[in-house]
Amino acid sequence: MQEAQDRVIGFLNILLRNYRDQTLVISSHGTLLSVMIHYFDSDYGFQNFKLMKHLMPWIVKFVFSNEKCILIESYDVFQSVKHVLWSGN
């Protein structure tokens, strides 16, 4: 998983530099989204990943300020609910 995390975070950093102050939409599978969340929140682990499987399609919003992640939210499209997964403030 470390290799996948290194690749996705490296690519994310390129996107953040090249598209500063713009809204980006990234589509991926749940495993890679979980790896991204774990990068910012080391407490996010396998138990969280297992819960995510019931949310497909899973929508995750990452909010950045100056290339720094400040908020991660998860959206449950079936119950029209959003949850704060992590806040870096």
Consecutive 10-residue averages of pLDDT for the chain (89 residues) = 94 96 91 95 92 87 94 93 91
pLDDT of residue 6: 96
Instruction: Give the whole-angstrom CA distance, residue 38 versus residue 44.
Output: 5
Q: Where along the chain do its domains lie? A: 2-87
Enter the tokens of residue 73: 């939210």
pLDDT of residue 52: 86
pLDDT of residue 89: 66
Instruction: Give the whole-angstrom CA distance, residue 74 versus residue 85.
Output: 6
SS3 call for 41: coil
Task: Give the global pTM.
Answer: 0.89
Nearest to 41 by CA among 73, 17, 13: 73
